[in-house]
């Protein structure tokens, strides 16, 4: 029996160390994917699933590292069981080869989905509250209003092209165009 671990982080800034530490003594192989859980295609996951043979075990650190929803988790568990592949969730010490393990797995699938949905809801509420207070959401602007006014003036008067100014500020030309458009639209009539 081979134990093959699937680890996932959503962004390159996230660190898989906690998962690696938790799985390196349990699994024979570790496969790390950097991709959002909601991505339609997960190449590393697909490769890992394709390599599993009857009697092997798929190991994950936590349920939410592998599946997007309770439905996904339950469908995958059934598909793995049909192939004779076992499934283990390391941080719960949960082995789905037993009826007890499958029951807890079903409950944890629902709990993981609930947790994810609550996180999304809290994030949306936080963004709405920040906007209501007049706070800017997202990345800070690359150029100040003065720089945008100057760039717009230079383009309109023919002193420089959009591409030249974008290169000066080390931004993409389309970013400059979009920023100038937003800046001009924000001016009082």
Query: Bigger pLDDT: 40 or 169?
Result: 169
Report residue 27 CA to chain centroid gap.
Answer: 24
Q: Is the pLDDT of residue 186 over 80?
A: no
Contacting residues for 7 by C-beta, under 8 A, at least 6 apart: 16, 19, 20, 23, 30, 31, 32, 33, 60, 61, 65
Residue 173 in this model has a pLDDT that exceeds 70: yes
- Is there a single domain that holds both residue 86 and residue 149? no
- Give yes or no: 69 in active site: no
pLDDT higher than 90, residue 93:
no
Mean pLDDT of the chain: 88
Do residues 116 and 182 both lie within one domain?
no
Q: Are residues 74 and 153 in the same domain?
A: no
Residue 50 host element (H or E):
helix 43-51
Average pLDDT on 115-128 reads 91
Average pLDDT over residues 35-40: 79
Residues 111 and 165 both lie in one domain: no
- Residue 52: pLDDT band (50, 70, 90) is very high
Domain annotation covers residue 136: no
From the list 10, 69, 112, 183, the catalytic residue is: 10
Whether 189 shows a pLDDT value over 70: the answer reads: no
Domain that residue 181 falls in: 145-186
117 and 150 belong to one structural domain: no
Tokens 């906690």 correspond to what residue? Answer: 18
Distance, in Å, from the CA atom of 57 to the CA atom of 78, rounded to the nearest integer, reads: 14
Distance of CA 94 to the CA centre of its chain: 25
């Amino acid at each position: 029996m081979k134990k093959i671990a699937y680890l996932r982080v959503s962004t390159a800034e996230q660190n898989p160390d906690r998962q690696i530490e938790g799985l390196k003594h349990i699994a024979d192989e570790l496969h790390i994917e950097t991709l959002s859980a909601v991505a339609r295609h997960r190449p590393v996951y697909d490769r890992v699933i394709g390599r599993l043979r009857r009697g092997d075990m798929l190991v994950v650190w936590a349920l939410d590292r592998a599946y997007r929803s309770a439905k996904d988790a339950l469908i995958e568990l059934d598909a793995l069981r049909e192939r004779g592949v076992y499934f283990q969730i390391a941080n719960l010490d949960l082995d789905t080869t037993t009826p007890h393990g499958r029951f807890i797995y079903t409950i944890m699938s629902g709990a993981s989905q609930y947790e994810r949905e609550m996180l999304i809801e809290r994030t949306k509420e936080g963004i709405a509250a920040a906007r209501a207070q007049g706070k800017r959401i997202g990345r800070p602007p690359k150029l100040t209003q003065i720089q945008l006014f100057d760039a717009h003036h230079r383009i309109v008067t023919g002193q420089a092209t959009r591409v030249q100014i974008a290169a000066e500020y080390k931004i993409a030309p389309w970013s400059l165009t979009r920023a100038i458009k937003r800046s001009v639209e924000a001016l009082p009539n």
